[in-house]
Amino acid sequence: MPRRRPALPEPPPRVPPPHEAPPRVPAPHVPAPHVPAPQEPPQLPPRHGAPAHEPEPRTPQCRTREAEAPRARWTAPGRAGEVTAITTAPTDPRSPDLGPNVLLLHPGQSDAQQRVDEITRARRTDQFGEGRHAVLLLPGHHRLDVDLRFYTQVAGLGALPDDVVVRGRVRVEADWLSQLDDPTGLGNATQNFWRGAENLSVTPPPGRVERWAVSQAAAYRRMHLRGPVELWDGRVGWASGGLIADSRIDGPVDSGTQQQFLTRNSELGAGWRGSSWNMVFVGTTGAPAHSYPDPPFTTVESTPLVREKPFLFVEGDEFRVFLPALRRDCAGTSWGSGAPEGTSLSLAEFFVAHPGTPVAVVNSALERGKHLLLTPGVHRLDGTITVRRPGTVVLGLGLATLTGETGGPVLVTSDVPGIRLAGFLVDAGRAGAPVLLQVGEPGCGARHSADPTSLHDVYLRVGGPWAGRAEVSLEVNSSDVLIDHTWAWRADHGEGVGWDVNTARDGVVVNGDRVVAHGLFSEHYQRHSLLWNGEAGRVYFFQNELPYDPPSQAEWSGGGARGLPGYKVADHVRDHRAWGLGVYCFNEADPTVVTDTAVEAPTAPGVRLTSLVAVSLGGVGTIASVVNGTGGAADSSRFVSRVARYPA
């Protein structure tokens, strides 16, 4: 996303409520071990830019070491890429080694604010750096102002969000990226990626408004905010988010300039204000009534099927991972009535992988029945992580990043039930790959409706830190898979970016049947950002930007058509439903390039699409129709074109 944009009308003047950070209130010292480590606004420019149950339990600790210390014991390889005999120490669930990039904070810890601020300063603008951090808060009350920046996760370790209370703020600010040609206009949130807040209660200071000015890959999940929130800079800055899931927000939500947003299985105590192109609410109490296209609110009253993300918590003196149960036909949070349904695993059942752990060691642990916890950092892989056993959990902390170094897939799963993949970023390596993340073998067809595989906050990237390459970012072959928030991104800015440089054919390819996606973001791919081949698919919210960089119409054509749709349902499909689909163009390399249709789907009784929008960002480029030739063009004369339902 280039930082400069064509000048466009600004939103109407608005007097923002106070939003500056509260003054720091030093926490009292508690002797404890020190543990380190509604009108549619003017068109926006493009983005380039348990509790413890035992009396007086021992507080769990996580051990820290120097970054280069050995992480496991294994014998020397017999030959390249092979480990002949592997022994690894078991994980101590009371004092696990979570690596140097996990900061465990006790209630009242005297240096907590200082240590959080150190992370904020280091990651403030570090969009493609290698720092990764998880800030984990033990149950109790914390006085903190968490200014959340790149590659940082802040999470509570309670069984319920209200077990960990932050008196202060957990916020994302838009204060570092300029927009248009004004270097002082730093309210642009369109590159506030790769961060997240989970499993906390936040009580802002009286009169203050929380800020969550984010774009993609920035989940606000399992949160209880006891106050209002703005999803932009509160003035005139742009934003391109986002996700709120399984959360309760007591105050009003103001979406401001947000281009699109998904709110799923949440509770809005004081409503929602603001709309732009694609605001979607699924299973959310207090949401606006369905009114698409004016205003463009898409509301689905209940969620037919969902499973929440696994999370780390403490019980007594032990770290555990909670696995939420499937929920059907539900609305509101999973925890609003008390402890949610589900099971938990001791961390003793996990192999803890650190950057530098050989893939053979990881795979050996998985084959022996261990689950996998990825510590914060960049894991450069000397092979493919292979998940074969049913019910395996792979959970990342602090945006743990998996990078392929050998030219093969980064992670593959077998077609077995109950796998959960959560909380990590997959980077394409320089050697390229046929696929980055593959769920199930090609051609598989078993049913897993009783215990599906699920993906939660799994992000995929081609280019940005370097010139990565991959033919497909995410390939879903298994049936009944649940996709709970993913962003597949072929980089349009950063290092190693260009039409012939960070090559990536397809973003997300779904071959399995009965796959359900909540919050599917896929951008800038050179053929299909989304190709859906399976039957009975259901999609709740889709956001896409077509590639910015086709050098000519000839390079952006297929099957006799001008361009390729951002959302493609294969011609043979007879059952497909979707709600809230947005496809945008910004033909920066050649503004004369045309895409014939934003969405392409077969005409069949079981194929029904609700709430579609095509947008020409700044009028740079043309989408000639919204779906299958229906709906007017989005171009320089009319930036936005909508279709309420297809077929009508």
Cα 191 from Cα 493, distance rounded (Å)? 10
Q: Which of 219, 273, 272, 226 is nearest to 246 (CA)?
A: 219
Residue written as token pair 């810890």: 109
Contacts of 168 (CB under 8 A, 6+ apart): 22, 25, 142, 143, 144, 145, 146, 202, 203, 204, 205
Strands across the sheet containing 411-413: 385-387, 411-413, 435-439, 470-476, 504-510, 530-532, 567-569, 599-600
Residue written as token pair 């004092």: 95
Cα 267 from Cα 222, distance rounded (Å)? 11
Pairing state between β 218-225 and 435-439: unpaired
Cα 82 from Cα 170, distance rounded (Å)? 44
Contact in structure between 62 and 35 (CB atoms under 8 Å): yes
Contacts of 54 (CB under 8 A, 6+ apart): 316, 317
Sign of CA dihedral 498, 47, 458, 627: negative
∠ Cα 275 276 281 (to 5°) = 55
SS (H, E, C) 597-631: CCEECCCCCEEEEEEEEEEEHHHCCEECCCECCEC
> Does residue 265 come out as left (phi exceeding 0), alpha (psi in the -120 to 50 range) or beta?
left
Contact in structure between 342 and 335 (CB atoms under 8 Å): no
Catalytic pick among 475, 545, 588, 600:
545
What CA–CA distances, in Å, run from 466 to 31, 434, 522, 571? 45, 18, 19, 36
Cα 135 from Cα 281, distance rounded (Å)? 29
What CA–CA distances, in Å, run from 566 to 302, 597, 602, 621, 630? 27, 8, 15, 14, 15
Contacts of 7 (CB under 8 A, 6+ apart): 180, 181
Q: Which of 243, 237, 142 is nearest to 195 (CA)?
A: 243
Cα 86 from Cα 386, distance rounded (Å)? 17
Cα 518 from Cα 305, distance rounded (Å)? 10
Contact in structure between 172 and 190 (CB atoms under 8 Å): no
Q: Which helix (H) or strand (E) holds 144?
A: strand 140-147
Known catalytic membership, residue 545: yes
Residue 54 token pair? 């035992």
Cα 540 from Cα 519, distance rounded (Å)? 6
Sign of CA dihedral 7, 8, 9, 15: negative
Contacts of 554 (CB under 8 A, 6+ apart): none
Question: Residue 155 phi/psi, 5° resolution?
Answer: -145, 145
Residue written as token pair 């084959």: 367
Contacts of 169 (CB under 8 A, 6+ apart): 21, 22, 144, 145, 146, 147, 202, 204, 205, 208, 210, 211
Length of the chain: 648
Q: Strand pairing partners for 490?
A: 462
- Catalytic residue positions, numbered: 545
